Structure 1
């Protein structure tokens, strides 16, 4: 298989994976519907740089070494699962408080202040959600080790990294844009609290699943 075929296959598999529902997808949906386009785009930017770092670590073999060290990988799983659980509990707590008070967060806090004050926070949350996801680590280790041969040129590897990063940024930015159009925002406004709740459930379920797997793995080794 020549380098062009490798890059096309890499891009196709990665794009299909991007469209699959998961923490990254849920994070963009939650924040774009709640806070608008700019926050959604900064979330997308953070996610794309998390994916870029995962790709780079996989390409250089660092992620593979982590994956091959059971204790270290378990610690990564615990950190990632705990972070997703933190996001899940936060979203569910916010949903409960909103339903209890029967008022939307967007009515209590000016929309513009959220956009002005949370750019760095949105980027950081996107980056942390992706980089701390142990499932992403396993995915990129498998993707890179299967499709990118060690003999591939430095230029080819650089293009592969650019493809993975740019596809991620383009897809999540498009998702943020599509969910934050004025027409859709008006329709989603009354459902925002339920979207928060659904995303909170997704984060919580995935976080608990990852923590359970890591605990079981540690108990087996004891």
Structure 2
């Protein structure tokens, strides 16, 4: 019974964090509307796998080891920031290419985006986006070290990890499902330049911030 209260608090904080706009949220919104429900759910599964790995690393102390070694943490920052920057510039280039096309040609040819060929590629994209995000590493390390008591039995820690993974998958899968209804998907396709532009700016801003923090370290 003593373990239930920390788990409820952990779950509540995690749900609020999941609903906050960030790279994971933007990735689902950007791709589910364009590529469909299965792709969105595959991305959701990949994101949740990244969260699962972060949770395990945090509870086993591996994340603390990474954070306490400046070279390792800086390497993660550079990799994560560069990846987010790459996603962002790709989205912004697609928007720029569409806006600079003649109007008739732009209507015939859809926006040149980096295609997701299959569900495996979509899952990998979701996993990479989450696992390379150093902010996620710091978040889960602080979250679990604060809300999971050191004396909690192994079974309680396994339940905590399972809850974090399942909640993440269900939230992102629900988001993908809601965004891929027939009417909603048609609207998202019409709004795709604006969505890509906003998501691209978000990726570039977060990626650039992470790289800047890596440099000043």
Q: TM range, normalised to the smaller chain?
A: over 0.9
Unpaired stretches in structure 1, ≥5 consecutive residues = 218-222
Alpha-carbon distance in 2 for matches of 1:25, 1:70? 28
CA 1:170/1:163 → structure 2, altered by over 3 Å: closer, same or farther? same
Alpha-carbon distance in 1 for matches of 2:78, 2:69? 14
Alpha-carbon distance in 2 for matches of 1:68, 1:19? 29
Residue 122 of structure 2 corresponds to residue 126 of structure 1: no
Q: Verify the 8 A CA contact 2:54 2:131 in the aligned structure 1.
A: yes
2:91 is matched with 91
Greater shift, 129-138 or 1-10, is seen at 1-10
2:179 is matched with 179
If the length of structure 2 is used for normalisation, what is the TM-score? 0.93
- Supply the RMSD in Å over aligned alpha carbons: 1.8
How many pairs does the alignment contain? 212
1:80 is matched with 80
CA 1:11/1:108 → structure 2, altered by over 3 Å: closer, same or farther? closer
2:191 is matched with 191
1:41 is matched with 41
2:26 is matched with 26
Q: CA deviation at 1:107?
A: 4.4
2:144 is matched with 144
Alpha-carbon distance in 2 for matches of 1:60, 1:119? 30
Alpha-carbon distance in 2 for matches of 1:186, 1:139? 35
1:164 is matched with 164
Q: CA deviation at 1:194?
A: 1.4
Q: CA deviation at 1:68?
A: 0.9
Alpha-carbon distance in 1 for matches of 2:166, 2:215? 35
If the length of structure 1 is used for normalisation, what is the TM-score? 0.91
Q: CA deviation at 1:120?
A: 1.0
Q: CA deviation at 1:195?
A: 0.5
Unpaired stretches in structure 2, ≥5 consecutive residues = none
